[in-house]
Structure 1
Amino acid sequence: MTVHAIIGGTGLTELPGLTLSEARFIETPYGPPSADILRGQYAGNDILFLARHGHPHRIPPHQVNYRANLWALKQAGADAVLAVNAVGGIHAAMGAGHLCVPHQLIDYTYGREHTFFQDDIDHVTHVDFSYPYDEALRQRLIGALAAEGYAFSSHGVYGCTQGPRLETVAEIARMERDGCDIVGMTGMPEAVLARELDLPYVCLALVVNPAAGKTTGIITMAEIEAALKEGIAKVRAVLARALLG
């Protein structure tokens, strides 16, 4: 039976019918993960949770120990990863509250520890990353979104920036020319590290703000937090349905 790991905010553990049974801190060769790994049971299945930014939310995107997080989840028994990411909307369809299951990504980050294949390795390893998201998991999320009746996009290109600052108007214009539909700060190297560990990985992106230049005003944290609070209920419903599949 597949053990699914969910990476995202702490509010994702509030699934109706979920029983949490264990909180475990796992030491890794790459340092400490962001938080304890929570284990729970939902609909007869084991589920793992990891708060990407720590609990409480205190670790900025560029300082998340992505290697430790993925390694710890693998050691805890994860067979697949469902990642929840708050993003900005670039494409016109990606308004606040919209949900997207991206099929591609572009990495604009720098300086992050982005691979397990370095230091004291026996041979150089190149993983195929043509299609960064697992298609079977993507289809499961798409089916859950359709069943819930939420507005969503079944495809999209996720552009991952360094953060923690938001992007400039010119940067978003460049990303749009590159083909990006949404912009976030946590999609990489999380996705490729999962691939290196042979963990099927998928992203459920919640749009919490229009990207720079896609609105007449400035982007405020109050607006982002309000959209996140409203949208997380939809995310929980989608995950709950997907985990039943």
Structure 2
Amino acid sequence: MTKKYLLVALSAIIFVVSIAFINAQAQPANVSRDSETLSKPNIVLVHGAWADGSSWSKVIPLLQEKGYNVTAVQIPLTSLAEDAAVTRRVLAMQSGPTILVGHSYGGAVITEAGANASNVVGLVYISAFAPDEGEVLGELNERMPAAPGMANLLPDSEGFLWIDPEAFPESFAQDVDPVQARVMAAVQKPVPASIFGEKTTQAAWKSKPSWYLISENDRIINPDLERFMAERIGAREVVSISSDHASLVSHPDEVTRLITDAANATTKC
């Protein structure tokens, strides 16, 4: 009986030691993966006019699969000052370096909000406005002929601008699946016309590296205006794709690639 108990005890000891050895061997891999994740910058996404944070729904999972911590801001679309303030609050919640991304009007928001945010290490403009300090979007738009989709804006009695729902797919999202484009039209968030007269008080792209994606078939922002802005801000990388205005929905792979290019470049710096 004594030998039997000794054999059982010895077997138990060997089992425990084996498990401990396996765990010890696995630990460096886990630590490495955690360190790699922590080394990646955060990604904060800012939507544009006539949209909300869900417009990033195809880009977010692609970034998350690559190990990025992603947050999509829900800006109120009430004024540039208020939209920038909401974005700053989200930036303040991020731990570590952050890439700030804006689509359409969201480009004006990241230009304003990113200037004094010490954790913002890069700006990515996706078919977006990139105004200069003291500039208003209305004046910026007038630098080039108006894009055709702007003819389909409908003001309401409260001074908010909508895109005619019937014209929304062809004006905003002609490359998007028609069913999804109609959903986007149904859930669009209007903007006050006064937003296009608000001055940008600071331009983050003057002190932060930037990247720019041009949508060549954009019917909301003139593609020539996008080219002008990309050159003016000195974008480190300019990507031009055959896309509608809703490039983040219709071409999420290309959008994600540019964002990760920015993230990789700032990580190396």
Q: Please give the TM-score of this superposition, normalised by the length of structure 2.
A: 0.34
Larger % of strand: which? 1
Structure exhibiting the larger radius of gyration computed from Cα positions: 2
Q: Which has the higher contact order (CA 8 A, sep 6+)?
A: 1
Larger % of helix: which? 2
